[in-house]
Amino acid sequence: MTVERATRHFQEELEGLQARLLEMGGLAEERVRMAVHGLVTRDTTLIDTVMLGDELINELHIEIDGRCFTLLALHQPMATDLRSIVAAVKINTDLERVGDLAVNIAEAARRYTNHAPVKKLIDIPQMGDIAQAMLRDALDSFVRRDTGLAHQVLNEDDRLDALKTQVFRELLTYMLDDPSTVEPALDLILVSRHLERIGDHATNIAEDVIFMVSALDVRHHSSNVDEG
Amino acid sequence: MTVERATRHFQEELEGLQARLLEMGGLAEERVRMAVHGLVTRDTTLIDTVMLGDELINELHIEIDGRCFTLLALHQPMATDLRSIVAAVKINTDLERVGDLAVNIAEAARRYTNHAPVKKLIDIPQMGDIAQAMLRDALDSFVRRDTGLAHQVLNEDDRLDALKTQVFRELLTYMLDDPSTVEPALDLILVSRHLERIGDHATNIAEDVIFMVSALDVRHHSSNVDEG
């Protein structure tokens, strides 16, 4: 294989890896959407679908990990490419945890449907929308190497935290006033914390992107042996 | 540099990396211990120490990540060594999150000291002990490539989950009986969840160790090009 062919082959593999990460991100995002929608509409069938269907994400997780290892072992990439693949390993882990959190949301939603609704669910779906958008933007920033977009993701995290605090305060009032709301309110608090953690995973991804791109800049201006 | 000298140099670097990971693990474990002890003894000075002193772990996190990159870039390791370094990247992330969780425990403990104690804290320190032991064993299993010990860590996680459920049920009873316990009981529920998540991170590390060692076996019996 000529050097050009090897390079082209590597770039194709790298693009394949990115495509699979985007696919996994889309799947994780969709499952978060379903879990929150199931909670809001009290749709136990939808909730059960999320609770039972985690295999596809877990399979993708293993496949993507394998792709990263193969790329590292066979192509021994340097500099930018190396950092992209190590970032992919980390992002893959974050996306798998997001899949787990969708299941956690579904579990809390399932319990919630056993009680009368505590309150109108407006802020929690809003948190869900923000968390999903953060995930999407974080993955886009990875593929496009766009640190501007990655920084936007970091800013969005503050909005999510503020909503979580607001939800918590409101639910605490209900719990203090009426003990019959304690159990369902606890589940809503858990859901809002799961959504906040999804935002944290999007934040991790955005931070990896910033490191991946800015480390490149830093090393670009020095005579580091690491340059490929 | 001769091949032998390069190999020896690489092994020294790898041992240095492991030593730093153990140091970071010890630090994370110590901070969890301090946070739980601060909660039990209502020692606000100790709690504040944990809340304010996360820098050392964050510095180690960056340093270890850098060591992993250097090892990957300069030595282009194959097979076992490659898997060890990718595992180190993941373990480093897990340990940093454990450090964050120690801060979260301290924050809940700080709020808890503003209320009268809800209950005797016996099961929560027990959860803390289990989580710390799991962390320690997971890191030992990494350094010793001991999948038996790694499997023990996975089993311990069930004990932690059972205690979390028990703590939750007990606290729910208090909250339903007496609204004045709602706020402090919520903080204890959060602490028990943070401890459960520390157990999850130890579990992640143990799973990485099992993959690292067993993937070696699998590939050892095939004619995979990946063998170094």
- Nearest CB to B86 within list A69, A176, A226: A69
SS (H, E, C) B110-170: HHHCCCCCCCCCCHHHHHHHHHHHHHHHHHHHHHHCCHHHHHHHHHHHHHHHHHHHHHHHH
Delimit the domains of chain A by residue range: 3-220
Task: Pick from A182, A210, A216 the residue to mutate for testing the B interface (most B CBs within 10 Å).
Answer: A182
Q: What is the mean pLDDT of residues B195-224?
A: 77
Distance CA(A175)–CA(A169), nearest Å, equals 10
pLDDT > 90 in chain B, percent: 82
Q: Is B227 left (phi over 0), alpha (psi -120 to 50) or beta?
A: beta
* % of chain A surpassing 70 pLDDT: 94
Instruction: Look over chain B and give the mean of its residue pLDDT values, rounded to a whole number.
Output: 91
Scanning every residue of chain B, which has its alpha carbon at the shortest distance from the alpha carbon of A70? B226
Cα A59 from chain centroid?
16
Q: Which two tokens stand for residue A49?
A: 């679908």
Q: Residue A164's CB: how many other CB atoms inside 10 A?
A: 20
As given in the structure block, the two tokens for residue B91 are: 């373990």
pLDDT tens-digit readout, A10-62 = 889 999 999 999 999 999 999 999 999 999 999 999 999 999 988 999 999 99
Using CB atoms, which residue from B89, B172, B183 is nearest to A86?
Answer: B89
Least Cα separation, residue B182 to chain A (angstroms)? 7
Residue A191 carries which DSSP code? H
Q: Is the pLDDT of residue A2 over 90?
A: no
Higher pLDDT, B106 or B78: B106
Say if residue B228's pLDDT is above 60: no
Interface test with A, best of B80, B165, B175, B212 (most A CBs within 10 A): B175
Q: State the pLDDT confidence band at B1, using cuts at 50, 70 and 90.
A: low
pLDDT at A3: 72
Residue A219 has pLDDT above 70, yes or no: no
> How near does any CA of chain B get to the CA of A74, in Å?
7
The per-residue pLDDT for range A97-125, each reduced to its tens digit, is: 999 999 999 999 999 999 999 999 999 99
Question: Higher confidence at residue B131 or residue B227?
Answer: B131
Query: Contacts of residue B177 in chain A, CB cutoff 8 Å?
Result: 179
Distance, in angstroms, between A73 CA and closest chain B CA? Answer: 6
Token output for B69:
């990159």
pLDDT band at A204 (very low <50, low <70, confident <90, very high): very high
Stretch among A169-178, A200-209, B180-189, B214-223 having the lowest mean pLDDT: B214-223
Cβ within 8 Å, pair A72-B93: no
DSSP code of residue A119:
S
- Please answer yes or no on whether B175 and A179 come within 8 Å at the CB atom: yes
Distance from C-alpha of A36 to C-alpha of A195, rounded to nearest angstrom: 9
Burial class (CB in 10 A: 0-12, 13-18, 19+), B26: middle
Q: What is the DSSP letter of A179?
A: G
* A99 Cβ neighbours under 8 A, 6+ residues apart: A27, A28, A31, A54, A57, A58, A61
- Residue B81 in contact with residue B212, Cβ under 8 Å? no
Rounding to the nearest 10 degrees, give the CA dihedral for residues B75, B78, B84, B88. 50
Averaged over A199-215, what is the pLDDT? Answer: 92
Q: Which of B62, B76, B219 to mutate to test the interface with A (most CBs of A within 10 A)?
A: B76
Q: Spell out the residues 6+ positions from residue B38 whose beta carbon is closer than 8 angstroms to its own.
A: B44, B46, B47, B49, B50, B106, B109
Tell me, what's the pLDDT at A54?
85
How confident is the model at residue B114, as a pLDDT?
A: 96
pLDDT digits (tens, 9 = 90+) for B163-196: 999 999 999 999 999 999 999 999 999 999 999 9
| Amino acid letter, residue A103 | V
- Our CA-based measurement puts residue A72 at a distance from the nearest CA of chain B, in whole angstroms, of 8
Q: Does A58 touch chain B (CB under 8 A)?
A: no
Give first-to-last CA distance, chain B, whole Å: 19
- Mean pLDDT, residues B144-162: 95
What is the mean pLDDT of the segment spanning A158-179? Answer: 95
**From A81, which residue of chain B is nearest by alpha-carbon distance?**
B73
How does pLDDT run across B39-50, given as a tens digit for each residue? 999 999 999 999
Q: How many CA within 13 A on the CB side of residue B104?
A: 20
Query: Given pLDDT bands bounded at 50, 70 and 90, which one contains residue B219?
Result: very low
The answer to whether residue A72 neighbours chain B at the CB level (below 8 Å) is: yes
- Choosing among 3.40.50.150, 3.40.50.2300, 2.40.50.100, 1.20.58.220, the CATH entry for B3-220 is 1.20.58.220
Q: Is a pLDDT exceeding 60 seen at residue A221?
A: no
On chain A, the residues whose CB falls within 8 A of the CB of B83 are 69
Nearest to B100 by CA among A64, A158, A200, A14: A200
Q: Do the Cβ atoms of A186 and B189 come within 8 Å?
A: yes
Mean pLDDT calculated for residue range A161-165: 96
Do B82 and A74 make contact, defined as CB atoms within 8 angstroms?
Answer: no
List of residues 6+ apart from B57 with CB closer than 8 A: B24, B27, B28, B31, B95, B96, B99
What pLDDT, on a 0 to 100 scale, did the predictor assign at position A227? 35
C-alpha to C-alpha distance for B125 and B75, rounded to whole angstroms: 44
pLDDT of residue B50: 97
Predicted pLDDT at A53 = 80
pLDDT at B159: 95
Q: Quick one: pLDDT at residue A74? A: 87
Lowest mean pLDDT among A15-24, A161-170, B9-18, B75-84: B75-84
Tell me whether residues A179 and B183 touch, CB distance under 8 A.
Answer: no
φ, ψ for residue B158, nearest 5 deg: -65, -40
Which residues are CB-neighbours of B36 under 8 A, at least 6 positions away? B105, B109, B124, B125, B128, B191, B195
